[in-house]
Structure 1
Amino acid sequence: MQIKTMVSSEILSGYDVVSTLYPHIPSMSHWRSWEYAAYQHHQLDGRILDLGCGDGRYFRLIWPQATDVVGVDNNPGIVELGRKSGVYRNVHTVLAHNVPEPDASFDHVFANCSLEHMDRLNAVLAEIHRCLKPGGTLLCSVVTDRFIQWSLLPKLVSMAGFDDAGITLQKDFLDYHHLANPLSVEEWEKKFNRAGLLAEEHYPILPKHNSGIFLLMDSLWHVKQAGGGELGDVIFSFLSDSANFPGAFRKIFAGLLEMETDWQDCSGAVFLIRKPRW
């Protein structure tokens, strides 16, 4: 498997595009900027399966030329948004290990930050293998084990002497994201191989300093308020008051990129996986 790297200008260009979707949600625009930059090294054409499709907005941002796309999501409300988006020919409300499509009927499967949340990962990967044509590809982003290891907020709270609160924050954070598969890069590759899929390329995304700030922002965003809702509701309202925020945060983002010295040890990964032709 080839390990690929990107340069800062690619990632900041990704931010310029992605921040139009999430102008006042810095953790979202931060993470997805890295994904977007990695995806730009690939081309998806033909018939595409979007596994964990959501509302379709991010897919359309990345692949505006794609016209023959089928979505899969298990959330009925999200599926309805996906159907209304105009991105998909059809959207199935099913779990990802039970896709109601014929064998070998897709040229590509796309799974953006969805595989790590799936309880039956082996069955999902087997289903991807079944759905792909020989020679077809799976392009996906996932989190790695560093996503948990580098989580800052619970550690900082515990260091301040509030161990129980730190434990609760970490549990709530993991429950929110439902991280069923926070695997190392090596473990992800083994999972793909066992399903009969070959990992060809790996783009590490979000090295240590970017990961630390992303995880701190995301953890704070999802802290539960005593009266209901999340702190993110308050933060979003605060940031939305400034039309200058997306541009200002871009400068912070650029500074974080300058801090990185090891671009291969990361909390996320983008993989290009292929189903063999034979």
Structure 2
Amino acid sequence: MARDLTIAVCQTSPIQKSAQRAETVDRLIALLERAAAAGAEIAVFPELALTTFFPRWRIDDQAEIEAFFEPAMPGPQTQRLYDAAARLRTGFALGYAELARVDGKTRRFNTMDLVGQDGKLVGRYRKVHVPGSSEPEPGTTVHLERRYFEPGDLGFPVFSYRGVRIGMAICNDRRWPETYRMLCLNGAEIVLIGYNTPLLLDEAPALAHLRMFHNHLPMQAGAYQNTVWVAAAAKAGIEDGQALIGGSCIIAPTGEIAAQAMSLDDELIVHRADLDLISVCRKVNFDFAKYRRPDQYRLIADQV
């Protein structure tokens, strides 16, 4: 019997600093409703989908910082989105800033939650590859994510959703091959990604024409080399003075882009992911059980 899962990628236009959380949640619910109407069984939203991308600034006021974080999910302002998932029978993956209290300590993570068709938490991922710095670097577009977030402590978990194995990643994670390899080795069939990426880098203006190419390249390579579907949702447009790249997409295990957003607006793209294509691609090039040689990899590493 054929296996498939219909995926929706929910790209958002800018979420300005002045936006109220309730207003943003309304926009996400509208996208989820459109996804459900299009037959989607799972939707993915961008990284930090509830707020502006605040790590672009140095903020010293602790109360201002904490206003960007969610101390509980769902919380009073986000419960409506979870209720919508249950009403529509369409789950989602949502990126947000997590404020966690662990053993009396405050910890902050750049997080994505996978939520089921019943509106309940299925699983959580915390961004591992936290880029940038903790202090501004003049003349660069370096963000201050390391000022606000610590690296994730949950590894690369994979969760069962409607019988499909789903993993998650966030923004800079998508550029690292080990992200996809770890998720693949953990059994992922679909990888859901959210990102906020600047259109231009002050330190590399000569590479401006390659920004979208470099956005898609590692995701296409990761999908192809690990025989997984990849669905990636971006924020797009001018957000608080910074241009974000957009380019949300759904990528097949062949490495082909199956669907791509064409605007910088709130935009929905939907594609039925043929899960049987995974085994076809694996037979052609990437039969891991047959060809992977971790013993030889270790030997080569020891020799180097």
Decide: shared fold, TM above 0.5: no
TM-score normalised by the chain length of structure 1: 0.30
Pick the structure with more helix per residue: 1
TM-score normalised by the chain length of structure 2: 0.28
Pick the structure with more strand per residue: 2
